[in-house]
Amino acid sequence: MNQRAMRALARASKLRAHFWASIIAIFSRGLTSFTGTDAYATPTPLARPVPLPDGPLIVVANHSSHADSVALLATLGRTRPVLVVSASDYWEQDSTADWLSRGLVGTFAISRSGDGMEQLRGAADLVRAGVVLVIFAEGTRSTTGEIGDFHTGAFRLAAELGARVLPIAINGTFESLPKGSTFPKHRATNLRHGTAIAVHPDSIDEAVATVRNELIELHKMPIEDLAGFGWQRVRKAAFGWAGLLVVFLWAMGEGIFWPLIAEMPLLLLVVTVGWRWRGAALIAASAAGAALGVLATWWMVKSGFEPPSPLTTPRMFEVAAEQLDANLGGAFWQQMFNGIPVKVYAHEAGAMGLSLAELGTALIARITRIVLVGAGGWLLGNFLARWLRPSLGLVQSVTLALFPIGLWLTIAYWS
């Protein structure tokens, strides 16, 4: 296998890994890999690359669900190129099945009725070149969740190639998506990596027994429901001083010059705190910051100083002035949905020479918006926690990636 093809396969594996990791993050309760076989095995969350041994490697795993291939692809594919040995009588039934299996999963299909070993040897060059070949040694999905008898093909191939066999026990996929079911249940999945062994051609049966026994032991371990990497970090920040300070300064900054809305960090943090008073403290900090920011801009403009207003348009200032002039109290309520930054209203309030009492009355709308959005996020976070726990990092990344488009649409409208 030439280097170019190998690079293409590695790229495809990484892409598949990211794709399936996103799907798992959204639809499951999370996936954690454990390396080390004792009770103190090191957990690796889905968002981090999992360590794998160097050299030719064949992964042997238990099989009870379609989610098994996906779980292995999502984790191993980040570290090394991966192909999953599949049954051609199932995955090559017609063009759709073939396309799905080759494109989305990355399969190496062999027939279950013919000479499987001879077909398996077709992957020899790939394994030598560094591709991790995943083989479900039971040959089919278990209908009981128990680990069945193993075929010897994986071990014979490993012996012929001098490759090592790494047992990985997949725990949780039988509970979430057993054979015959359509929709996955929201459960946690654990991948427990065993010890990679070399296989001698004279001791195939011994190697089979060793790997099967280790898989059975690893399969018995309890499923650990660990939160995703993103959730853990954000929750830690939410309960520290940093979280309070960020929401306060962000909201205050938005009232003066900052172009990103105050609710962004508030929602991100408040969804992780659960039914704890910290949620109310975060909302209060954001509301106080928002009010102070508006007051600061009003005071600066009234005193003759013009704070910078990036990503605003002259029309925004005109409309804000019209609304403040027409209905002082209603202007800030309209600001809630119309996309004109609050600093523009604060600026125009200063330019119009509104009194502190008048501005204070108008600010009720601004504070109400922060409290309503924050409380909504707090409430929603409690209901959606089981989905957000594994996927908050992904949600956060997607939101941040799409926010500039929303900002551009808003500015374009007010241009």
Partner 1 sequence: MSRDNRASRVTEMVGRYAFRSAAFLFGFAVLQWFAFTGFWLGSQPIIILAFFTILDAIAYPAFALFSLVAVLAQLRPWRFTWHPWAGLLLMVGGAFFIVDALLTGFAK
Q: Residue 403 has which token pair?
A: 């926010």
Write down the least CB distance from residue 308 to partner 1, Å.
22
140 versus 152: smaller Cβ distance to partner 1 = 140
Torsion angle (degrees, nearest 10) of CA 51, 385, 221, 137 = -60
**How many whole angstroms from its chain centre is CA 77?**
16
Q: Which of 280, 339, 367, 384 binds partner 1 (CB under 8 A)?
A: 339
Q: Is 35 exposed, middle or buried (0-12, 13-18, 19+ CB in 10 A)?
A: middle
337 binds partner 1 (CB under 8 A): yes
Write the interaction track for partner 1 spanning residues 296-335; mark x where CB under 8 A is met and - where it is not.
--------------------------------------x-
Q: Which of 35, 232, 338, 396 binds partner 1 (CB under 8 A)?
A: 338
364 binds partner 1 (CB under 8 A): no
Which H or E run includes 31?
A: strand 31-35
Instruction: Specify whether the CB–CB gap between 346 and 294 falls below 8 A.
Output: yes
DSSP 235-280: HHHHTSHHHHHHHHHHHHHHHHT--S-THHHHHHHHTTS-SSTHHH
Report which residue type is found at 37: T
Instruction: Tell me how many residues contact partner 1 (CB under 8 A).
Output: 20
The span from the CA of 315 to the CA of 273, in Å, is 40
Write down the least CB distance from residue 412 to partner 1, Å.
9
Residue 106, Ramachandran bin (φ over 0: left; ψ between -120 and 50: alpha; else beta): left
383 versus 413: smaller Cβ distance to partner 1 = 413
203 versus 399: smaller Cβ distance to partner 1 = 399
Write down the least CB distance from residue 410 to partner 1, Å.
5
Window 53-72: residues binding partner 1 (CB under 8 A): none
Write down the least CB distance from residue 63 to partner 1, Å.
18
195 versus 334: smaller Cβ distance to partner 1 = 334
Q: Which of 100, 198, 242, 245 binds partner 1 (CB under 8 A)?
A: 100
Write down the least CB distance from residue 94 to partner 1, Å.
5
Window 372-411: residues binding partner 1 (CB under 8 A): 402, 405-407, 409-410
Could you tell me which stretch among 124-132, 225-233, 297-305, 336-344 binds partner 1 (CB under 8 A)? 336-344
Write the interaction track for partner 1 spanning residues 79-98; mark x where CB under 8 A is met and - where it is not.
------------x-xxxxx-
Could you tell me which stretch among 206-214, 227-235, 293-301, 337-345 binds partner 1 (CB under 8 A)? 337-345
Write down the least CB distance from residue 54 to partner 1, Å.
36
Instruction: Specify whether the CB–CB gap between 177 and 185 falls below 8 A.
Output: yes
111 versus 213: smaller Cβ distance to partner 1 = 111
Nearest CA-CA partner of 124 in 98, 156, 90: 156
Q: Which of 136, 317, 345, 414 binds partner 1 (CB under 8 A)?
A: 414
Handedness of CA 141, 146, 148, 150 (dihedral sign): positive
DSSP 206-222: HHHHHHHHHHHHHHHSP
209 versus 409: smaller Cβ distance to partner 1 = 409
Q: Residue 340 has which token pair?
A: 């004109």
Q: What is the 3-state secondary structure (H, E, C) of 68-99?
A: HHHHHHHHHHHHCCEEEEEEHHHHCCCHHHHH
87 versus 165: smaller Cβ distance to partner 1 = 87
Contacts with partner 1, residue ranges (CB under 8 A): 91, 93-97, 99-100, 334, 337-339, 402, 405-407, 409-410, 413-414
